[in-house]
């Protein structure tokens, strides 16, 4: 095991290379660029021994990944913001084709106005494509999640693409230490990819043919079943990783000081890491509050949400907005609790456009919610005089 | 043939029942075997693989799959294939 002190993007590149993909196809976009730069560097030194496909757009990057994965290759890519949006059609294709492609998406604002800072609207808008979605809070977790994502995606009862999301600049360009396991440990955890179907001249099949309504219905149901199965597999894979590295993120949620909590804060991404400091300070003040950091947005962890609501009222901070309604995570949490719980859910929208959200801001939001002074759906930190 | 277990849109090769022409062909190619020199240009150009090669390199036309597009007649240098309206007397 070695310590690597580097940015989230270079650590993601290191993880991707250590997972030994056969093919990487990617197109650069701020703030993802250094992920593919990192992989290119490993390619030039021979540390990455697979194929590196330079493409002319993100739509082509995802298409190349689909072709490679369909031929039985372990496949990786990375993108961000408008790049992810340009992939949209092929994201649906990858998921319906049941191809275990792993992709890092660095959460960046969607323009206009042109803005490269952090917010989650890019990945939230791809919610319904069928991709499994992880949200990471620190660079170490980025490394660990990339490796775990390949194992999850390639599991024969899952076979779904996985998107690993983390915040632009807050994580992608911020240097932190990360423990890097030995290659042999990763190889043991993540053996060579054995595809469950592939385009093969020795066993000829075609893919994506016209299918009748009932057959399509069945294909969709199979995807849904795979997502349900992923809910069970994510904690298992996390536990297996813990035996190798000693690190655990809990599974679908990372719980922090939730014992005897009367309020539970739900946040994701880098806000989740910042929230831990806020929770510590609020606990010192005597507030019975804990944090459930949402790691997995798809499949949505409905059962855990219900469990938290049995114990406490919920406070939700969304770094995204479904315009015309409210933060997407808040909506889904309320839907999960329908007819199951009468717990209070107080949602905040904060940090859009890369607006800084500090532990003090999170403290204020939690305090307002606990005191009943916050209206759900409130936009925290919006300055009218800008 | 290996069957995959995953539920997705995977198709296995078989006799193309769904590719049969049925009753909607308007023109059909008629082959004059006396003129044919077995050059196989029609076999190369047929977009439906409806030209059948025999062991002696002579050809036949598979009317189950022929769509009557006329490409074979157009490509035949010796005019050994002509197009006739369906139902017309040969």
- The pLDDT tens digits for B27-68 are 999 999 999 999 999 999 999 999 999 999 899 999 999 999
- Option in A203, A204, A219 nearest B8 (CB): A219
Residues of A in contact with B2 (CB under 8 A): 203
Alpha-helix runs per DSSP H in chain B: 41-45, 71-75
Report cis status (omega within 30 of 0) of the bond before A114: no
Q: Residue A206: its pLDDT value, please?
A: 86
> Which one has a higher pLDDT value, B23 or A3?
A3
pLDDT at residue B14 tops 90: no
Residues of A in contact with B6 (CB under 8 A): 98, 156, 159, 196-197, 222
pTM of the model: 0.86
Alpha-helix runs per DSSP H in chain A: 8-18, 33-45, 58-70, 81-86, 88-96, 121-124, 139-154, 183-189, 213-245, 270-284, 302-311, 328-337, 359-370
User: In the predicted model, what is the mean pLDDT of residues B7-32?
Assistant: 85
Q: Residue A279: its pLDDT value, please?
A: 98
Burial tier of B69 (Cβ tally within 10 Å: 0-12, 13-18, 19+): middle
pLDDT at residue B16 tops 80: no
Residues of B in contact with A204 (CB under 8 A): 12-13
Q: Measured between alpha carbons, how far is A363 from A216 in angstroms, rounded to an integer?
A: 48
- Suggest the residue from B6, B12, B16 to mutate for an interface test with chain A (most A CBs closer than 10 A): B6
Q: Residue A130: its pLDDT value, please?
A: 98
- Nearest chain A Cα distance for residue B3, angstroms: 9
pLDDT at residue B88 tops 90: no
- Nearest chain B Cα distance for residue A98, angstroms: 7
Q: Residue B87: its pLDDT value, please?
A: 83
Rounded CA Rg of chain A? 20
- Give the other-Cβ count within 10 Å of A379's Cβ: 12
Mean pLDDT of chain B: 90
Q: Residue A339: its pLDDT value, please?
A: 93
Report cis status (omega within 30 of 0) of the bond before A153: no
Q: Residue B17: its pLDDT value, please?
A: 65
Q: Residue A18: its pLDDT value, please?
A: 98
User: In the predicted model, what is the mean pLDDT of residues A152-181?
Assistant: 97
pLDDT at residue A124 tops 60: yes
pLDDT at residue A176 tops 80: yes
User: In the predicted model, what is the mean pLDDT of residues A36-60?
Assistant: 97
Q: Which residue has the tokens 């804990």?
A: A290
- Asked if the Cβ–Cβ distance from A207 to B13 is below 8 Å, we say no
A96 lies within 8 A of chain B by CB: yes
Residues of B in contact with A215 (CB under 8 A): 9
A203 lies within 8 A of chain B by CB: yes
- Asked if the Cβ–Cβ distance from A205 to B7 is below 8 Å, we say no
Q: Residue B90: its pLDDT value, please?
A: 56
pLDDT at residue A264 tops 70: yes
pLDDT > 90: percent of chain B: 68
A189 closest CA partner among A231, A238, A151, A143:
A151
């Amino acid at each position: 095991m070695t310590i690597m002190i580097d940015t989230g993007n270079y650590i993601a590149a290191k993880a991707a290379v250590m997972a030994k993909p056969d093919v990487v196809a990617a197109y650069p976009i701020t703030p993802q660029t250094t992920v593919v730069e990192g992989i290119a560097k490993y390619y030039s030194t021979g540390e990455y021994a697979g194929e590196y496909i330079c493409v002319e757009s993100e739509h082509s990057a995802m298409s190349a990944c689909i072709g490679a994965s369909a031929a039985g290759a372990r496949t990786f890519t990375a993108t961000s913001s408008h790049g992810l949006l340009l992939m949209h059609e092929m994201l649906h294709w990858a998921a319906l084709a049941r191809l275990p492609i792993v992709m890092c998406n660095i959460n960046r604002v969607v323009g206009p106005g042109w803005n490269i800072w952090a917010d989650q609207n890019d990945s939230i808008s791809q919610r319904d494509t069928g991709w499994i979605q992880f949200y990471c809070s620190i660079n170490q977790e980025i490394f660990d999640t990339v490796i775990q994502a390949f194992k999850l995606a390639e599991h024969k009862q899952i076979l779904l693409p996985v998107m690993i999301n983390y915040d632009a600049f807050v994580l992608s360009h911020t240097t932190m230490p990360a423990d890097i396991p030995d290659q042999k440990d990763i190889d043991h955890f993540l053996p060579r990819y054995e595809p469950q179907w592939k385009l093969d001249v020795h066993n000829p099949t075609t893919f994506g043919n016209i299918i009748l309504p009932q057959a399509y219905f069945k294909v969709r149901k199979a995807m849904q079943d795979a997502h349900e199965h992923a809910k069970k597999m994510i904690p298992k894979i996390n536990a297996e990783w813990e035996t190798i590295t000693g690190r655990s993120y809990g599974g679908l949620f990372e719980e922090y000081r939730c014992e005897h909590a009367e309020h539970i804060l739900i946040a994701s991404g880098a806000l989740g890491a910042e929230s831990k400091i806020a929770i510590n300070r609020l606990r010192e003040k005597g507030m019975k509050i804990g944090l459930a950091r949402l790691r997995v947005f798809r499949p949505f962890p409905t059962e855990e949400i219900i469990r938290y609501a049995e114990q406490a009222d919920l406070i939700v901070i969304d770094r995204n907005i479904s315009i015309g309604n409210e933060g997407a995570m808040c909506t889904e949490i309320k839907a999960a609790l329908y007819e199951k719980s009468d717990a209070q859910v107080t949602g905040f929208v904060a940090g859009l456009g890369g607006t800084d959200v500090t532990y003090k801001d999170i403290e204020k939001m939690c305090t307002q919610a606990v005191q009943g002074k916050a209206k759900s759906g409130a936009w925290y930190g919006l300055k009218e005089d800008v | 043939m290996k069957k995959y277990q995953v539920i997705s849109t995977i198709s296995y090769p078989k006799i193309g029942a769904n590719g049969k022409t049925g009753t909607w062909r308007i023109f059909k190619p008629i082959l004059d075997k006396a003129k044919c020199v077995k050059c196989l240009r029609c076999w190369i150009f047929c977009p439906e693989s409806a030209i059948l090669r025999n062991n002696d390199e002579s050809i036949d036309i598979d009317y189950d799959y022929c769509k009557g597009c006329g490409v074979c007649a157009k490509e035949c240098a010796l005019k050994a294939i002509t197009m006739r309206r369906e139902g017309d007397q040969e």
